[in-house]
Structure 1
């Protein structure tokens, strides 16, 4: 019996009626009726299964799939711990050390023709080829998508993110992923390899990772100027550590900021997606998936791929093993002491700049470039910066803090400050 509201369907009765009428009358109308009833029975889940039973089966299948993915993730994390402790050795390829990045190392953003070949300098782009399906985009770029594991000194994985191969031996990811620990490793195409930060630009929240011996091909890169609102895009990364996950959406808006244009998209992303790729309908990298609005629906954002080339104009940060809090010789290196004073800060997401004045008594005055003033209270506990006013509170993570520089990441904010 299949329950549905107040009515109940007896599967055996309907199947018998279908067969009897089909044999006796053999009329088209009856045959169609039989087909429809059979489809209804299948859609309801089969004879003798209630909707609750069907839901329970679906839940069990989902739980088994998640458990299998978690088991694979646990096995990978064991490899990372062994690699960090020296138990697991990765063969050292016979390659030369990577040179310091130079402007000539910037990824090529030349127009790409319908076959994916870069046009000669100064040439205009050829007419766009027919859009690829999600299946074709995934098949093209999946071998170039990495899962990034950030570990502490003991080899314990503390953060999982995503990355994209943009050059030989080079993976791009977010700095708010790569700088959260002391050691880095990536998993790509079933291979686990150690990585180091080659270039970090916290102001843009982009880090270039050097992965010796990485043979995965680089993706094609295109400018955000090629995008139009409403255009279909695909996000590929490792949300919740589930590597090589693709989601589909559209460009819902192109948000202008001081340094360029941030992409707002409905392509779903989750924690772990940070550093992954946002691709257009030709499989070209147009953005780096970075953050989402927690209190909205389908409010996801990607940094423009154009910023990858702009990183070269900035001073490389220290290696990933640097201490998050550091002071000059003879100074107190506690964050509560280092933060006191005046800072010139800029939020690269909103493009807003302001002067932040942290006082020793825990008061904070913010004067924005437009003249707006905010008076808050603050408290520092480890890497956590708690902020509050008379009505509500908030929090940010102190990613880096020294006598001259501070980097903060909060909900929908990434703030770089200097004295």
Structure 2
């Protein structure tokens, strides 16, 4: 049996949470993890290359001298570590790209240096001036540039795009040469935590940070990502965020030391907003027999469900998987999001002891970070028996601290109902990159959403 010691951070968090809950025991000696739900995605098939129109060719020809490839090189060996794209936004050599393209320059400037490569192939050095983690943007400057650089302009804010309008994405896909992709504007992505443009066109690795333009050659967005489980499902950062970064940081001094403190500051602002939205919105009760479990409302998160699997003949099981689309790139990992999972069991044919064994095994299968890494500490966990909403439950709370991003933690809470002999619900909430206090708020809000309503 796995044991969850009540140590340090997690014990303090659990003690604070239990102020409003009924405490049944000081410790529990057994564990309970559950069968993890696979995300509802599938591997993508390769998309057929699209035919490029005359308008797309014109967009490329008029823009090619304003495009650059951004390369991150190891200082010692001068070998290429990563590549992306970018574009000139000021005549004195200012370049917009993605933060995930330039992150090594922000976090390990002593080890990496940046260069830009324009269409003529003549490489030059760049320096990082500023970045926006929440919108995955960075502002670079060509070293020694004095003026005369060709510049791309932005589309006016008072001229919004219309659905179906043609737009053109440019960049250097897979480091094989500059290219243009033609597609359509499909509005903003639903349920995205920050505004993102749904681009009906193909983006490929290496195009990150490149511009997306309208027919007049004005920048409307910045390439950022695509879905792997579908075709022509790509995403752009609205140009207004790039304009704002340029306006506030055009005269900034170059970043020459590791900027973990600034990354942590921006992530802290993000998790404050995430926590406020999650706790302000009432959790929606999802019914499973006499149980009610909390799920986020539809406007905040995507939830997927599955019913009984054919192999389970002795009992019924229903699963729910919810996730808030608020992931942020923070160097070499993603953080800043919340996900929830549930399994509801009804096993009248198993009997009390067989059901208890099955539920305990399911609980014990859940994993927590038992060993530390260069990114974070090992999880510290505390386990209690509690009562909330008329439901007796077993609850395990775990916390892991980020090593280089002070004040941020990963928080998990795992629950299992224990009030019925042959039925029950198991739930888990994971919050990535939150403060200690906000971890308290999230777990308390989550636990308060569980209820037992006697079945007639």
The two structures have a TM-score, normalised by structure 1, of 0.49
Structure 1 or 2, whichever has the larger Rg, is 1
The two structures have a TM-score, normalised by structure 2, of 0.45
